[in-house]
Structure 1
Amino acid sequence: MNKIYILIITIFVFISCSKAEPDNDGISDIELNFTQFDVTLSSGEKSIGVIDNDNKHISLYDVKDPLEIVSVSYKFSEDVSIITPNPNTRIGKWEITEKFRLHSSESFEDYTVEIPDFEEPVYENQATISPLETFGTTVRYHMLDLNGDPDKAKEESTAFEAFSNQKMNGIRFPLYCGDAFGGHPEEGVVVEDVYAKPLKSLENAKAAYSGSEPFMIFVGIKVLTSNKNEYYPDWVSTDDDGIIPDKYAQLLVDFIAFMDKKGHTINAIAFDKESVRMSVDNFKISADSLRAKTARLGYVVPKIVAPELLDPQGDTSNGWMNELYDKGYQDRYDIFGNHYYQRDHTVAGFAKLKYEFDLAQSDRTRPQWATEPHWNNDSSIFRTESAFGVMFDHTDLGLDAFMWWGYPIEGSTTIKSPIMRSYSGAILGSIPIRMLDHDGEETFTNGKLHTRAYLRGNEVNVFLINVVNPNIAGIVPASYEDYAVGILDGFKIDGRVTVRQWQDDSVVGSEVEGEVILVDAIEEKQFLLDIPTGTFTQLTFKIKE
């Protein structure tokens, strides 16, 4: 019985195997192979694919860059019904290695197409950054100007945004001494109600501040008109609209005492603002009197900021700075501060600023303060050329502190606000480093690429302005693709480069906060970016040795 059972099983297995053999033969007869795979390059040359059907591999020789492939010609065996993806859909996106699948109704095969002669493109630097070539000075203070708007920080949340999140660390506080304001009606009297608004902003600012630098309070006279009776009270003025310098110094001492009782120390004072309302001789007397009185009363002797003129005068025979030095009064001021506006950002205007800056450094080293830079007019992108050209000029010489007129702490209805915040936050605590682009370093020629770089620790911030002023005829717009920027002095780029780029508000689809992308470095020493016409660009990245 057992023998019969074994025999039946043997016969059954033999019959089953015999039936399976024709199916195996049927599958092995299906051919899923490429018979041709060629590409045409942008140069017109062709690469004939070397097909290895045993290993399912195709080599395209003499192709240096897969993006140069402009067309594909291929054939395959009759059993192939479809290929995925279609090779033509990879044009413009072709990688060094591509995968394609040949399908039949019953099976499939995967092929690898490789470009063995690929060469990484070599880009010649169009701009270079040299971290070891520092110049100017480290920017220590970004102050909030209350002279234009005393309510700028009246809300605690706004003060926190400015003095905690944005790390602002000082206030430009208005001096309401003119009779039009009524803050100082007589000697020894300061009307507290007149100062209620700026005091509220100051208190909120100091409460929110948590920085490392001592909080700076800089007092500047508030001026409404050119009428002297409106910016100096009667008891400080002479009958012929002059000033009694010792009385004016007393007014300042009264204010210092008033603020001291409120718990605020005045660190710096500017006697005048823009128009020359105080002669050099009266300036000297006021400075001597202020210093003597504050020291005698035990207050911190404030630093004196001068000349605070409306536009620098340069080397002129009747210039205020020249007269100050000619008379030997140069030790009566401590900080070089001036109002240098967008209209001054010219070759001639900068020469005047530089002359006065150099004069300020001729007897001792003095910090430079940009006490009222502006972005005037509208928020058009081309305005950045002059607004930030002014800041480039200041930082080129050496900038210690700055305070924008009308600085936008919050809100972004136009590109103006986030651009001002972005630049200000980047330069605070930074020092300029040498950057040389293909147009050179000067920033006065309209329509050229204007660039500057700043270093803070191991962080680099770069600003590129590529705009065209529509009010100037004959400027040909320039646009740059794959603009190559290299890092020098043996440093390497640590990680990716953050690119934040703004276009004009009028451009459809433009982002008020700017478009942000990340760019990979090439061998840690170079990166590429596009700089279209009409853009303001910020680059941020880390460096390492």
Structure 2
Amino acid sequence: MVVLGLCAAADAYDEVVVFPKEKGVKIDRFFYDFKSPSAPWKFTQKGWAKTLLEEYGFNGIRTSIYGTGSKPAHPEPGVVLEEYYQGETKGLKLARKIRPNTIIFASKKLDNTQSFPDWTKGAKGVIPEKYAILVADYLEYMKGEGLEVDVLAIDNERRFNEGNIMPETHRDVVLELRRLTAERGLRMPKVVGHEDYAVGRHKWMETFDSLQSDTMDIFGAHYYPRARLLEKLKSDLAYAGDREKWHTELHWDSHGDPKATNDSMETAVCSFLALWDCVDQGMNGLMWWDFSPKKNRRNHLMHAASVPLVNAWPLKVIDPDGAETVDLNQLHTRAFLQGDTLTIYAINHDSAKEWKDLRFKLATGRIAGKIEGRQWSDGGPAEGNVGTIKPFMRGSFRVNLAPGTISVFSLNIKP
């Protein structure tokens, strides 16, 4: 096992170069997901809520719109059964107390073929005029709780529900909802769509673009490590145009190897790369499914992958293997800048290759103080091996990257 530290000088070495002045799209939206298992109730533990909103700087929460078979909160038009929402509203009120500007993102809860109540549906899916009433009822209820909704998703993974909200239906629901909110004196949230299970399915965004409709304010996608459909993601994002672009359900799940678990290194690598695909394509909003305070390796790695990205700028990085993330066994590096704190990631998933004396260099500026490093490997501690590294010539440092490792380096930089 390789422990991080200062490496001996070498006559020749490959380099990783970070460009602090060449920035991508700032990640200015980072959400916690109440739709994850038991999340609202975990969140009501004040320590976890404060960690997320104060220490980590998360600035939004996704919460559920029910009316499903298992939670029939909307049994008829104009009726909301508040007992189904009490867990969420309690957590949201705590969030707004801790961070008053917390963004509330309400999203339709998925419950397979019982995702929408019968009174909102016809033979071909939801009836726009009726489903809009359910959403307006929800918005009115939330306003009565002192929790006006900022962002709204009227659908969630169409592949697995019966709503059949294709582009025309999406447009018609939103237009009717705008009318109802104006009629009831409610604020109309920004609309995020189309929130399907996979990008590019049925050319949804291409069709929506052809409608020339203004009924989507934010593009929202689900993009999974098991099926990183990068070209389809690029296509959808191109049709999204100048809208904000959010990944609204990042998952930490296995890829390829049937023996992989949520705690395996392969799962971690695939999850990092799926996240980076989205950041590379300019997505400014991110949210994990099941982001947890538990202290296993999965969650230590998930926190390490996420917290340095909150309100951070992605930076240009070059490394010996290039920027592509297709081959898992290449060297993968990324860098993010929060204020004057730079976080550099290095993934060496190749079980046979060790990068020795690899130099990490700033294209501009200098390193102030020591570098803190953390490295994970199979069989290593859940929190990773921790060490410090002295900078070399003020603007660089060198490390060994053992086979099958994920490394994170944190340092302060000055112009």
Equivalent of 1:416, from 289, 293, 298? 298
Cα deviations by residue, 1:234-291 (Å, 9 ceiling, x for unpaired): 21111x2521101111111111110011110101111111125212221111111112
Cα deviations by residue, 1:356-408 (Å, 9 ceiling, x for unpaired): 001111xxx11111100100142111212210111101111112221101111
Asked which structure has the greater CA Rg, the reply is 1
Contact 2:44–2:91 (8 Å) recurs in 1? yes
- For 2:193, the equivalent position in structure 1 comes to 306
Cα deviations by residue, 1:134-193 (Å, 9 ceiling, x for unpaired): 12x111122111112342313222222222222222110011122431110111111100
Q: CA deviation at 1:423?
A: 1.8
- For 2:133, the equivalent position in structure 1 comes to 250
CA distance in 2, matches of 1:122, 1:533: 22
Equivalent of 1:404, from 278, 288, 297? 288
Does structure 1 residue 455 correspond to structure 2 residue 337? yes
- For 2:85, the equivalent position in structure 1 comes to 195
- For 2:389, the equivalent position in structure 1 comes to 519
CA distance in 2, matches of 1:333, 1:175: 18
Does structure 1 residue 267 correspond to structure 2 residue 150? yes
CA distance in 1, matches of 2:243, 2:319: 31
Does structure 1 residue 534 correspond to structure 2 residue 414? no
Q: Structure 2 matches for 1:115-194, cutoff 5 A? A: 124-135=13-24, 137-149=25-37, 150-194=40-84
Which amino acid letter does the alignment assign opposite residue 165 of structure 1?
E
CA distance in 2, matches of 1:493, 1:242: 58
Does structure 1 residue 327 correspond to structure 2 residue 211? yes
- For 1:498, the equivalent position in structure 2 comes to 372
- For 2:258, the equivalent position in structure 1 comes to none
Contact 2:110–2:157 (8 Å) recurs in 1? no
- For 2:182, the equivalent position in structure 1 comes to 295
Which amino acid letter does the alignment assign opposite residue 206 of structure 1?
R
Contact 1:372–1:405 (8 Å) recurs in 2? yes
- For 2:311, the equivalent position in structure 1 comes to 429
Q: CA deviation at 1:121?
A: 5.7
Contact 2:312–2:337 (8 Å) recurs in 1? yes
CA distance in 1, matches of 2:283, 2:210: 26
Which amino acid letter does the alignment assign opposite residue 482 of structure 1?
D
Percent identity reads: 28
Q: CA deviation at 1:124?
A: 4.5
Q: CA deviation at 1:542?
A: 1.2
Compare 185-194 and 376-385 and name the one that shifted more.
376-385
Cα deviations by residue, 1:189-229 (Å, 9 ceiling, x for unpaired): 1110011112222222222337xxx311111111122x1xx
The 3-state SS of whatever aligns with 1:319 is helix
Equivalent of 2:232, from 352, 364, 370? 352
CA distance in 1, matches of 2:221, 2:158: 11
- For 2:357, the equivalent position in structure 1 comes to 482
CA distance in 1, matches of 2:411, 2:166: 49
Contact 2:9–2:357 (8 Å) recurs in 1? no
Q: Structure 2 matches for 1:455-474, cutoff 5 A? A: 455-468=337-350
Q: Structure 2 matches for 1:273-284, cutoff 5 A? A: 273-276=156-159, 277-284=164-171
CA distance in 1, matches of 2:42, 2:321: 39
Contact 1:368–1:398 (8 Å) recurs in 2? yes
Highest RCO, 1 vs 2 (Cα 8 Å, sep ≥ 6): 2
CA RMSD of aligned residues (A): 1.8
The 3-state SS of whatever aligns with 2:142 is helix
Does structure 1 residue 235 correspond to structure 2 residue 119? yes
The 3-state SS of whatever aligns with 1:218 is strand
Q: CA 1:496/1:123 → structure 2, altered by over 3 Å: closer, same or farther? A: farther
Q: CA deviation at 1:455?
A: 1.2
Q: CA 1:525/1:125 → structure 2, altered by over 3 Å: closer, same or farther? A: farther
TM-score (norm 2): 0.91
Q: CA 1:281/1:202 → structure 2, altered by over 3 Å: closer, same or farther? A: same
Q: CA deviation at 1:120?
A: 7.2
The 3-state SS of whatever aligns with 2:371 is strand
The 3-state SS of whatever aligns with 2:288 is coil
